[in-house]
């Protein structure tokens, strides 16, 4: 089976979790072509650059108006020679780009959905095109998050929808006795990530512990005039630097409201880092190495973080449990399952 992955993948600060999962899973599958944005390719992180060697690279562009059409034509030529087009993201421009490739090449389209976005619910000027793309597609693959699957079935009741998951290679993650962050939050600034709770939680932690340091990584925080109390914004960092900070942190503080797989939680557990989460549907997959707090109980959340910061023995026990648990999420099994899902959709 010859697969073309679209739209052109961006790197650097525009490299997403969806893009990372795509590289990790499909680099293990033969005969896969990948459209890439050549303008950001030079910004690819050193940790992920070796994965590109396993793809047939199609140089395109989604960041330059001048180079957009020539790049689209190159992707289209490859689409014509492929058996299926995979849109690796559910965001509007990604889906529309892949939809046009499918229309002009007359090859089937499969769309991968990580989150049900507001765009999919109709809040987008591109919604008519998004809807046409999904209706045109042969099927959808989504992360095995019950909320995601059920909402997609309501939005597209006549569409074939199968599930897959994400994974992590724990061998590249570690811990160290040197700690520079009491708490660590990884995520872009936004309501979905529970940032309003983060401010309240860390304020309460700061009332009980002398100047506890909260380290923040992600995008959008640099625009704010005020960060959470006793926090330091580290910016959008390299993969190497991220893993170093994970290793040098005591507690992963992640009051997110909604996630697909939550790779950052998996990364925390891989780094022997205990995580504190809200007890919400998306956290069901994480059964070891975490403490779940009843949603909206900010005091209970803060007290849990304080308790962990004051007890190294419990942190170490949870850290080891989490590392052992997340080690089961191997990419080899996921890759096999994904190939089967694509084959099933194409046979419908």
Kindly state whether residues 262 and 129 are assigned to the same domain.
Answer: no
8 A C-beta contact, residue 251 and residue 58: no
Distances (CA, A) of 199 to 19, 216, 253, 299, 302: 29, 12, 11, 12, 11
From start to end of the chain, where are the E strands? 3-9, 32-37, 56-60, 84-87, 109-113, 139-143, 161-164, 181-186, 214-217, 231-235, 249-253, 275-278, 290-293
With pLDDT > 90 as the criterion, what percentage of the chain qualifies?
96
Mean pLDDT of 198-216: 97
Rounded Cα distance between 66 and 9, Å, is: 17
Q: Are residues 84 and 200 both part of a single domain?
A: no
- The two structure tokens encoding residue 151: 């909402």
Regarding whether 157 and 12 lie in a shared domain, the answer is yes
Are 226 and 144 within one domain? no
From 111, 107, 70, select the one nearest 92 (Cα to Cα): 111
In a shared domain, residues 339 and 271:
no
The per-residue DSSP string of 52-63 comes to GGGSEEEEE-SS
Distance separating alpha carbons of residues 296 and 279, to the nearest angstrom: 9
Asked if 116 contacts 89 with a C-beta cutoff of 8 angstroms, the reply is no
224 and 300 together in one domain: yes
Cα–Cα distance for residue pair 162/143, rounded to 1 Å: 9
Mean pLDDT of the chain: 96
CA-atom Rg of the chain in angstroms: 21
Q: Tell me the CATH number at 209.
A: 3.40.50.2000
Q: Are residues 131 and 209 in the same domain?
A: no
Statement to judge: residues 58 and 100 lie in one domain: yes
Residues 138 and 286 in one domain: no
Residue 230: the pLDDT is 97
Report the number of distinct structural domains present in the chain. 2
Q: pLDDT-based confidence at 172, cuts 50/70/90?
A: very high
Domain housing 26: 3-167+330-347
pLDDT exceeds 90 at position 330:
no
Binned at pLDDT 50, 70 and 90, residue 267 comes out as very high
51 DSSP assignment: G
* Residue 143 pLDDT level (bands cut at 50, 70, 90): very high
Confidence band (pLDDT; 50, 70, 90) for 333? confident
Quick one: 334 and 304 in the same domain? no
Residues 110-134: pLDDT tens digits?
A: 999 998 989 999 999 999 999 999 9
Residue-wise pLDDT tens digits, 218-255: 999 998 989 999 999 999 899 999 999 999 999 999 99
Indicate if 311 and 334 belong to the same structural domain: no
pLDDT of residue 300: 98
Which residues on adjacent β-strands are paired with residue 87? 6, 111
Residues ≥6 apart with Cβ < 8 Å to 218: 185, 186, 187, 188, 189, 193, 236
Are 263 and 159 part of one and the same domain? no
CA distance 101 to 226: 44
């Amino acid at each position: 089976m010859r697969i073309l992955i679209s739209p052109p993948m961006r790197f650097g600060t525009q490299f997403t979790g969806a893009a990372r999962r795509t590289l990790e899973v499909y680099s293990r599958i033969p005969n896969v072509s990948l459209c890439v944005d050549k303008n950001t390719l030079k910004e690819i992180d050193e940790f992920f650059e070796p994965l590109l060697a396993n793809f047939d690279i199609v140089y395109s562009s989604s960041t330059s108006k001048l180079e957009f059409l020539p790049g689209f034509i190159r992707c289209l030529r490859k689409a014509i020679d492929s058996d299926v087009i995979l849109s690796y993201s559910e965001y509007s421009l990604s889906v529309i780009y892949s939809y046009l490739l499918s229309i002009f090449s007359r090859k089937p389209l499969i769309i991968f959905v990580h989150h049900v976005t507001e765009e999919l619910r109709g809040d987008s000027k591109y919604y008519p095109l998004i809807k046409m793309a999904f209706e045109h597609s042969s099927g959808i693959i989504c992360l095995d998050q019950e909320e995601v699957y059920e909402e997609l079935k309501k939005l597209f009741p006549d569409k074939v929808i199968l599930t897959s998951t994400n994974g992590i290679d724990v061998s590249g993650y570690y811990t160290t006795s040197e700690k520079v962050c009491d708490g660590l939050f990884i995520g872009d600034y936004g309501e979905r990530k529970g940032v309003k709770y983060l401010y309240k939680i860390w304020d309460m932690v700061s009332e009980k512990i002398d100047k506890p340091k909260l380290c923040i990584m992600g995008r959008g925080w640099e625009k704010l005039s005020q960060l959470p109390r006793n926090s330091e914004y580290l910016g959008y960092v390299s993969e190497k630097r991220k893993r170093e900070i994970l290793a040098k942190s005591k507690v992963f503080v992640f009051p997110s409201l909604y996630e697909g797989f939550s790779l950052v939680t998996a990364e925390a557990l891989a780094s022997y880092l205990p995580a504190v989460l809200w007890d919400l549907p998306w956290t069901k997959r994480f059964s070891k190495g975490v403490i779940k707090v009843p949603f909206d109980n900010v005091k209970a959340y803060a007290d849990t973080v304080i308790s962990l910061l004051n007890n190294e023995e419990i942190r170490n026990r949870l850290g080891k449990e989490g590392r052992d648990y997340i080690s089961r999420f191997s990419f080899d099994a996921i890759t096999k399952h994904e190939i089967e899902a694509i084959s099933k959709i194409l046979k419908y």
